[in-house]
């Protein structure tokens, strides 16, 4: 199988890194320095848009959402029969792509930032013309950057709020914990080591445990103890409701940006 990457920024590079050893890959990238970097790192060839569309079976659309109208106009003038288009752009619906690409087979994917280290989670949905085989093929491609989950397109805005934007929430928690640790007398290096180790270990424990997040929290929260004192402050500040409000705002913004 030959995969064509139209645009290859951070996320495109992550997907390329997870697939270039098992699939033949081509890149259409407008920036000369970026093309040179990708060729040096992955030994991948660059080509024009027309050449890529002719040569590749699967076309990964990895440009920014605002660049889609111009890109789709350029693609629409090329032979598209038999091609599978995979979009990773937030807010770009399959119906919009199908209309622009003359009812081509389309699969939409929402990956997230940990894909850059092969630890991502991607939500996948298919358009009207895509088959179950197409869906399985896309899941195989994204297995190179982590796990994937097949969902309905009606869920994709919520996915953006949960897993797409989710790393930002975790980084904010880490940032706040490191700031608080420094205020408690630790150096920058000590705070980073303590917080990173705590977050990494806790994530691994949650992933490997049969207990829920709430169950694990109860294990470390002894009645009248230190963790309970901290939890009382979080709950008094409305932390659970704040997360719901924040993630609802992210979901609603995704709907506003949708095409």
The predicted pLDDT at position 91 comes to 86
118-174 pLDDT, tens digit each: 999 999 999 999 999 999 999 999 999 999 999 999 999 999 999 999 999 999 999
DSSP 104-151: -EEEEEE--GGGGGT-EEEEEEE-SS--HHHHHHHHHHHGGGEEEEE-
Neighbours of 154 (CB within 10 A): 8
183-218 pLDDT, tens digit each: 999 999 999 999 999 999 999 999 999 999 999 999
Q: Is the pLDDT of residue 259 over 90?
A: no
23-79 pLDDT, tens digit each: 999 999 999 999 999 999 999 999 999 999 999 999 999 998 889 999 999 998 888
The predicted pLDDT at position 20 comes to 94
The predicted pLDDT at position 77 comes to 82
Q: Is the pLDDT of residue 222 over 90?
A: yes
Domain annotation for the chain: domains and CATH numbers: 2-156 (3.40.50.720), 166-257 (1.10.3730.10)
Torsion sign across C-alpha atoms 43, 146, 67, 127: positive
Please give the helix or strand (H or E) that residue 4 lies within, else none. strand 2-6
Mean of the per-residue pLDDT values of the chain: 94
The predicted pLDDT at position 53 comes to 93
* Beta-bridge partner residues of 123: 110, 149
Confidence of residue 258 (pLDDT cuts 50, 70, 90): confident
Mean pLDDT value across residues 106-115 = 96
Q: Is the pLDDT of residue 245 over 90?
A: yes
Are 14 and 41 in contact by the 8 Å Cβ rule? The answer is: no
Q: What would you report as the CA-atom Rg of the chain, rounded to the nearest whole angstrom? A: 21
The predicted pLDDT at position 102 comes to 82
State whether residue 224 is helix, strand or coil: coil
What's the half-sphere exposure (Cβ side, CA atoms, 13 Å) at 174?
18
| CA–CA gap between residue 252 and residue 241 (Å, rounded) | 16
Confidence of residue 1 (pLDDT cuts 50, 70, 90): confident
């Amino acid at each position: 199988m030959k995969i064509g990457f139209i645009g290859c920024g951070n996320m495109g590079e992550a997907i390329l890194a997870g697939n270039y050893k098992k699939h033949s890959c081509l890149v259409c990238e407008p920036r000369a320095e970026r093309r040179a970097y990708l060729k040096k790192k992955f030994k991948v060839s660059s080509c024009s848009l027309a050449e890529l569309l002719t040569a590749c079976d699967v076309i990964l659309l990895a440009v920014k959402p605002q660049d889609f109208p111009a890109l789709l106009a350029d693609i629409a003038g090329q032979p598209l029969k038999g091609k599978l288009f995979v979009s990773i752009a937030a807010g770009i619906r399959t119906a919009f792509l199908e209309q622009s690409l003359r009812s081509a087979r389309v699969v939409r994917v929402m990956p997230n930032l940990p894909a850059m280290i092969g630890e991502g989670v991607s939500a996948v949905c298919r358009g009207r013309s895509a088959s179950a085989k197409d869906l399985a093929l896309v899941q195989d491609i994204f297995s190179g950057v982590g796990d994937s989950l097949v969902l309905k397109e009606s869920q994709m805005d919520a996915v953006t709020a949960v897993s797409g934007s989710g790393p930002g929430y975790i980084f904010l928690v880490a940032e706040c914990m490191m700031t608080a640790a420094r205020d408690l007398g630790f150096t920058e290096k000590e705070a980073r080591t303590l917080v990173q180790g705590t977050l990494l270990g806790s994530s691994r424990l949650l992933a490997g445990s049969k207990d829920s997040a709430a169950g694990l929290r109860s294990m470390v929260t002894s009645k009248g103890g230190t963790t309970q004192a901290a939890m009382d402050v979080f709950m008094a500040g409305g932390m659970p409701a704040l997360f719901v409000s924040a993630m609802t705002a992210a979901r609603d913004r995704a709907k506003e940006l949708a095409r």
